[in-house]
Structure 1
Amino acid sequence: MRRTALIATLWLNLQFVASSARSVAVGFHRFGLGAINSSPSTPEPSAHQPTPPSSKGHLQFTSANNLRILSLRGGDIIPISSLSQVESIIHQSSDRNILVVLDFTANDCPPCKMIAPIYTDMSDLEEFTEKGVVFLNVNVNDNPDVAKRYGVDGWPTFVLFKNGKKVGEIVGGQAAKAGLYSLVAKHA
């Protein structure tokens, strides 16, 4: 009996390790961490490899200090860490006629927590991933300058940009629950 329990425990541990290794490998590929080069002009090997279906958008390092967007495809919610990152994504998206949705949230915001799973589900919808809609998340506690730059003083607030111009805004969890899908669908 002990031997069976030991074998079962070992098997479960091996499954966990294998699953963790796959997750790490997918994460490395998804975020382009396998392509760290010393020269930005050197083509990245991952740029020539097909993206697996589970990887919908990713960032890639071209040098230790230079993070750039390799491709803007929908599906992932990109956490924002600076104002320059938001502006860069909006600019790159405008060159490609891609809709960008900014979700402004706060740590102590119950409506933000209520709408978060809906926003996540929306980012995974095929109709938006096929059109390349880019979903961003701005934590205003960590990035008050981003909220100030876009005139956001209540949360959750969703601001939509297309071709570098603001095309829509929804303030409040209930308003977003009722109308965010329609607004994104209209501009996607």
Structure 2
Amino acid sequence: MKGDFNKIVNEKTPVLIDFFAEWCGPCKAQSPIIKELAEEVDGKVRVIKIDIDKNQAVAQRYNVKGVPTLVLFKEGKIVWRQSGVQSKLQLMDVIKQHT
């Protein structure tokens, strides 16, 4: 993972993290949704993808057991978390509630 994770999630801008794995089928389905979402919320929410195999310490710290797991941080606190594929509409609703 590039950058300092703690610094990123503690910023004023909310951060949506997509914990994924290269081998995960549902993650591959989630990926284009996340990409499209990131373009639409650019500036309002920072969207980051974290490969759990390459960043095991972060995945363990947040108890990520299944992928994809999406976590929304706001000023360092987890305000929403969900495992499994989420639609863009579901994610936009969550972002609207927390921005």
Q: Size of the alignment, in residue pairs?
A: 98
Could you tell me which residue of structure 1 aligns to residue 46 of structure 2?
A: 134
Answer whether contact 1:159 1:170 (CA < 8 A) is retained.
yes
Contact 2:14 2:46 in 1 (8 A): yes
Relative to 1, partners in 2 of residues 1:138 and 1:130: Cα closer, same or farther, differing over 3 Å?
Answer: closer
Moved over 3 A (4+): none
SS in structure 2 of the partner of residue 136 of structure 1:
strand
1:1-188 correspondence runs (5 A): 80-81=1-2, 85-91=4-10, 93=11, 97-125=12-40, 128-131=41-44, 133-173=45-85, 176-177=86-87, 179-188=90-99
**RMSD (Å), alpha carbons:** 1.5
Q: Kindly name which structure, 1 or 2, has the bigger radius of gyration based on alpha carbons.
A: 1
Please identify which structure carries the higher helix content. Answer: 1
Normalising by structure 1, what TM-score?
Answer: 0.49
Q: How far has the Cα of 1:105 moved from its partner?
A: 0.2
Q: Comparing both chains, which one has the higher relative contact order based on Cα–Cα distances under 8 Å and sequence gaps of 6 or more?
A: 2
Calculate the TM-score normalised by the size of structure 2: 0.89
Instruction: Report if aligned partners of 2:17, 2:71 keep a CA contact under 8 Å in 1.
Output: yes
Provide, for residues 40-60 of structure 1, a one-character-per-residue CA deviation record: whole Å limited to 9, x for no partner.
xxxxxxxxxxxxxxxxxxxxx
Q: Which runs of 5+ in 2 are unaligned?
A: none
In the aligned structure 2, how far is the partner of 1:130 from the partner of 1:149?
27
**Secondary structure of 2:96 counterpart:** helix
CA distance in 1, matches of 2:54, 2:43: 31
